[in-house]
A and B are shown apart, each in its own frame.
Chain A
C-alpha cells in the first residue's frame, strides 16, 4: 500500500542499528551492576543454592538422557564408517573427541538454553509483570542483586558441570554400544581413547567452551527476562528470543572458539 522511499529504508536501518547498540549497552550495564556493586539482601549462599537447584539439578535429567543417546548414536555411526577401513578400535577415540571438543559443550548449551534459559526468562519476566521487581526496589532491595545475581552465578557454575556430565555419560553410552553390542575389544577401545585424548587440549578446552557458553546463555536469558515488556505477550516474546539468540550465540561462538583452540593460526 504505502511506498517507503529509499531514504526512509535507510533511516529504519539506522534506527535498528542504534537500537541494537543501545540494547547491548543496557545488557552490559545490567551485567556489571548485577555482578559487582554493593551486596544485596539475604544470605547470598542460600540464594545461590536455591538457584543451583532450579537451574542445575533440574536440568540434569534432560542432559543425562540426551548424553547417553548421543553417545550411543555416535558409536553406531562411527563404527559403521570406521569398519570400512578396518579401524573399529578407533571408535572410542572418535566418540570421546567428538563429545569432549564439540558435542558436549554445544549440545549441552543448546539444551540448557531451552530448559533453564527459557525458564529463567519467563520467571523474571513474570516477576516484572506482577511488579515483584518494583516491589523489591521499593522495599529497598536491589533486584539485580537479590534476583538476578544468584541466577547468573548459578548458570555460570551449572553449565560447565552439566557439559562435563554430558560428555561422561555420552562416552559411557558410546562404550556400551561399541563394546557390548558391536563387539569392539574393550582394552583397545579405552587404550585408543586414552592415547588420543589429551587432558589439557581436549578436556580443558571443552570445559572452557562450556564456561563461555554458560556465561552467554545465562546472560541472555536473565537480561531478556529483565528487559521484557511486562505483559503476557512480552514475556512469551522474550522467552522465544532467549532460545533463538542464545542458540545462535552458542553456535557462532563455538566456531570462533574452535578456530582459536584447535585451528593452527
Chain B
C-alpha cells in the first residue's frame, strides 16, 4: 500500500515490441508521486512510446502498467477512458483542435466531462489561461498562435480538469530560449504549487536536468541509468557518460554497423 502511495506510475517487467523490433525489454520504472521525473534518451529509443504505454494508448506485449493502483492492460476500453481523466498530456505539437478557438480548446475537457454551467466553465478557463499567461488570446484560432503559445494553450487544456499526472512529450523541441524558459518555469510551478506528478520526456539535457527531481535514462531497450541529475552527471557508466556529456563516439557508435571500411573500398574491384 505504501508503495502505491509513493509511486503514481509503476512499470513492472514491461516489454513492448513493434512488429519484429523490440522497443523495450523487461524494464522497470517507478515515477514518484508529486515530483518531476525526467525520462531521457537518444532519439528513436521509444520515449514517446513509453508515454503512450502509460496513457494506455498502446498495450504492452508483456508486463504491467500500474497507474494510481490500477493495472491498465487489464482495464476495459470504457474504464480506460474514465481513468484518463486523471491524466493530462502535453503533446509535442500541442495538438490543439484546429477548428476550435483557444477558449473552446481549453473548455473542451470541461464540457465533455462535467455538467458545469457556462459561467463557471468560463471562469475556470480564464484561470487556466491566466496561469499560462495567455488570457488575452482566448479568441484566437490555433493557427494564429506561435509554436510556444500553442504549447502553452495545450498546457492550459491539459490542466483544465486538474489531473494528478501530467505528461510532457518533448516540450522543449523547437522552442526559442524565451519560450523554453517560460515552459521550464511553468512545469516546475505546476508541480510545486499543485502537487502534480510530472513526467517529462525529452532529450534536451540542460532543461530537463534543471527541473527534474529524478531522471531515467533509457535506450537500447533498457533502462541505462537512473538517479538525480547530479548522480547521473557523475556516473561512471560509459553509456550514461556518453549521453550526459554528448560524446560523439562510444558505446553508442558513430558508425552504423557495416563491413570493414578497407574491405568495402577494395571489394568493389
Contact = CB atoms under 8 A, between A and B. Distances in A.
Interface stretch (B34-42, B83-91, B133-141, B245-253): B83-91
A31 interface: no
Contacts of B84: 137-140
A138 B113 contact: no
Given A139-B109, A139-B112, A140-B112, A131 B93 contact: yes
Given A132-B97, A140-B109, A38 B89 contact: no
Interface string A213-224: 000000000000
A198 interface: no
A138 B112 contact: no
A89 to B, nearest CB: 53
A202 interface: no
A213 B44 CA distance: 42
B124 to A, nearest CB: 15
Interface string A138-175: 11111000000000000000000000000000000000
Interface string B107-130: 011011100000000000000000
Contact of A138 (B57, B97, B98): B57
B235 interface: no
B78 A138 contact: no
Contacts of B154: 135
Contact of B111 (A42, A131, A138): A42
- Give the interface residue-count category, chain A: 10 to 19
A130 B77 CA distance: 23
Interface in B57-98: 57, 77-78, 81-82, 84-85, 87-89, 91-93, 95-98
A143 B220 CA distance: 33
A105 B14 CA distance: 53
A98 B215 CA distance: 71
B112 A135 contact: no
A53 to B, nearest CB: 12
A147 to B, nearest CB: 10
Contacts of A142: 77, 81
B55 interface: yes
A1 to B, nearest CB: 15
- Give the interface residue-count category, chain B: 20 to 34
Contact of A135 (B52, B95, B113): B95
Contacts of B78: 38
A138 B92 CA distance: 14
A131 B89 CA distance: 11
A156 B112 CA distance: 26
B163 to A, nearest CB: 10
Interface centre among A42, A134, A138 (most CB of B within 10 A): A138
B108 A139 contact: yes
Interface in B197-254: none
A57 interface: no
Contacts of A41: 111-112
A132 B150 CA distance: 13
Task: Please list the 8 inter-chain residue pairs (A to B) with the smallest Cβ-Cβ separation, ordered nearest first.
Answer: A135-B95, A131-B95, A41-B112, A131-B91, A140-B84, A138-B89, A140-B81, A140-B85
19 contacts: A41-B112, A130-B93, A130-B98, A132-B97, A134-B57, A134-B89, A134-B91, A135-B95, A135-B154, A137-B55, A137-B81, A138-B57, A138-B84, A140-B84, A140-B85, A140-B112, A140-B113, A141-B81, A142-B81
Interface of B: 52, 55, 57, 77-78, 81-82, 84-85, 87-89, 91-93, 95-98, 108-109, 111-113, 154, 157
Interface of A: 38, 41-42, 127, 130-132, 134-135, 137-142
